[in-house]
Structure 1
Amino acid sequence: MRGFRVVFMCLAALSAPVPAIAASSAWHETEGGRVRLVVFPERTDGSIPALLDIRLEPGWRTYWRDPGESGVPPTVSLPESSGLKLESLRFPVPKHFDDGFSRYTGYDRSVGLPLTLKQKVPGPETTQVSASVFLGICQDICIPVQAELSVELQAGAAVDPAEAADLKAAEAALPAPPSPDFAVIDARWNDDGKSLAVAFTAPGTTPQVFVSGPDGFQFGTAMPTRSGDSYHVEVPLLRKPKNASLSGAAILFTATSGGRAMETTLAIAPHAAP
């Protein structure tokens, strides 16, 4: 059994607009791949784009935000003292895997996860930022990778064109919002609360769906079936926090079909506990 590995990466952030501030961690080599974090100049709306850059060796995999029956989803957190908050961590469409022992959801290729950071309150320019990163990569076994990170920022540093291209490609790979021919028609919990039924339109003939919920919720996999001009799927709810309510739970629905990808937050009909 392979032991745990710790990956140290650098996180950079901004606290005030400047001509250009960009920083990336050094690549940290770990069994099965390497990882770094890149942060880009603050945008006009005050958001700070960043990229969790995960490079995998052939035969290795990493996980989506809901890994399914097994796995470790990637997380990034900033300490309260950082002066920054993590507004979003977004994921391209993953794949379903079945290794004969469990089913899980993730990536069998290198992947970039776009992040958005923002200042909590205006203040003096930040020169050092710390962050924690946690993810898992697997082949025969899963290796949890954890890092406590700190980086010095350098104002005026030019953005590396290759890193800018990586961010652009990662953002382009994200699912699009709903459109007239690719959208959810209806979503509701089944009477027993153990699965989520979704009806949707899709442009292709073999759609795949992925569902994720708040912390503690975990969904399984299911294949959609055609019903007239739309599709229907019932996705099993594998687990949820004991006291969590189904009503009002924020659930993300992601689908691929016809070479396109769509993602939306579900408006779910109220559920009455059985």
Structure 2
Amino acid sequence: MRYLNIVALGAVIGLAAGLPAKASSSAWYKSEGGKVRLVTSGKPDEAGQIHGVLDIALKPGWKTYWRDPGDAGVPPQIDISASTNIADARLSFPPPQRHDDGYGKWSGYDRPVSLPVTFTLSAPDQPATIDANVFLGICETICIPVQTRLSLDPASDPDNATDTALVKTALATLPSPARADFGIHVLPGDHETLVVEARSPGDPDSVDFFIAGERDYMFGAPVRSQKDGKLVFTVPILDRPSATPTDGGLYYTLTSAEGSVDGLLPFP
């Protein structure tokens, strides 16, 4: 996917001032390829978290990225440092699709998508306002970085049924936790490849494997094969940290005609 030259970003990145909240959602920010907004379900849950979505309404023919966009894309990002009583915002991602536009292979969405966001309150019993800087790439034949400030007050309409339904629907699209019969098993590889066996109910031809490069890892497109009757994905490791991390792991999603699951892999 081709990107506009970095020197031209000032001409194509729109920075919208925070606008008064409508209900529990922000105003839409409109760009060339679509529009974006933040929506919340209003009330925090018992864990002191407010659930919401980054709502991306793409125009026909436009696309946006998954959490790992490949070597030339921009994953959706959200910065809540200007917010009040918000300690953290975590984006979650529905299962992506694989795309090849002739310039590169990448993972993302070619239709409108709502990315769940979990906002964690610093003090659950205190009011909170969300003032978020959002950055993402939307693409047709050329990708356009979109940056905007989205503001809202979740308590302004905490019982808004439409907003709550949108958030609930988006959460239902997320992958389920991996399990024994639907997930992956890491096989021996080497310093330059990650090799996994994929286990999934249903048609194996429908299965795809997505791995997110983080902590200075970068991966190429997975290559699928059959080995001893098992479905195997071999993933090139294009870049890696100088020292292998000892905490956490790498996020993956496994998709099939039967649904999708996700989990963490040990660092290769």
Q: Name the TM-score, length of structure 1 as normaliser.
A: 0.83
Alignment of 1:54-73 (within 5 A): 54-73=56-75
Partner letter of residue 144 of structure 1? P
Distance verdict in 2 for CA 1:164–1:123, change over 3 Å: closer
Q: Which runs of 5+ in 1 are unaligned?
A: 14-20
Q: Which runs of 5+ in 2 are unaligned?
A: none
1:212-237 CA deviation, whole Å, 9 max, x = no partner? Answer: 13244332212332334532111122
Partner letter of residue 175 of structure 2? P
Q: Any idea what SS the aligned residue of 2:169 has? A: helix
Structure 1 residue 8, shift from structure 2 partner: 3.3
Cα distance in 2 between the residues matched to 1:12 and 1:174: 30
Alignment of 1:114-133 (within 5 A): 114-122=116-124, 124-126=126-128, 128-133=129-134
User: Contact 1:213–1:249 (CA<8 Å) still a contact in 2?
Assistant: no
Structure 1 residue 34, shift from structure 2 partner: 0.6
User: Contact 1:73–1:136 (CA<8 Å) still a contact in 2?
Assistant: yes
Structure 1 residue 183, shift from structure 2 partner: 2.1
More deviation in 203-212 or 4-13?
Answer: 4-13
Q: Any idea what SS the aligned residue of 2:65 has? A: strand
Structure 1 residue 78, shift from structure 2 partner: 1.3
Partner letter of residue 234 of structure 2? E
More deviation in 116-125 or 200-209?
Answer: 116-125
Partner letter of residue 202 of structure 1? S
Distance verdict in 2 for CA 1:232–1:161, change over 3 Å: same
Q: Which residue of 1 aligns with 2:180?
A: 180
Partner letter of residue 252 of structure 2? F
Q: Which residue of 1 aligns with 2:169?
A: 169
Partner letter of residue 6 of structure 1? G
Q: Which residue of 2 aligns with 1:197?
A: 195
Partner letter of residue 161 of structure 1? A
Cα distance in 2 between the residues matched to 1:254 and 1:124: 36
User: Contact 2:185–2:197 (CA<8 Å) still a contact in 1?
Assistant: yes
User: Contact 1:86–1:115 (CA<8 Å) still a contact in 2?
Assistant: no
Task: Indicate whether 1:160 and 2:160 are aligned.
Answer: yes
Structure 1 residue 249, shift from structure 2 partner: 5.8
Q: Name the TM-score, length of structure 2 as normaliser.
A: 0.84
User: What percentage of aligned pairs have identical amino acids?
Assistant: 36
Q: Which residue of 2 aligns with 1:75?
A: 77
Q: Which residue of 2 aligns with 1:96?
A: 98
Q: Which residue of 1 aligns with 2:264?
A: 265
Q: Which residue of 2 aligns with 1:35?
A: 36
Cα distance in 2 between the residues matched to 1:87 and 1:265: 20
Alignment of 1:3-42 (within 5 A): 3-6=11-14, 8=16, 23-40=24-41, 41-42=43-44
Structure 1 residue 12, shift from structure 2 partner: 10
Distance verdict in 2 for CA 1:244–1:160, change over 3 Å: farther
Distance verdict in 2 for CA 1:150–1:257, change over 3 Å: closer
1:47-88 CA deviation, whole Å, 9 max, x = no partner? Answer: 110110000000000001100122110011111763312252
Q: Any idea what SS the aligned residue of 2:103 has? A: coil
Cα distance in 2 between the residues matched to 1:123 and 1:197: 47
User: Contact 1:94–1:106 (CA<8 Å) still a contact in 2?
Assistant: yes
Structure 1 residue 119, shift from structure 2 partner: 1.6
Partner letter of residue 23 of structure 1? S
Partner letter of residue 70 of structure 1? A
Q: Any idea what SS the aligned residue of 2:204 has? A: coil
Partner letter of residue 251 of structure 1? L
Cα distance in 1 between the residues matched to 2:187 and 2:17: 40
Cα distance in 2 between the residues matched to 1:249 and 1:70: 25
Distance verdict in 2 for CA 1:219–1:249, change over 3 Å: farther
User: Contact 1:9–1:36 (CA<8 Å) still a contact in 2?
Assistant: no
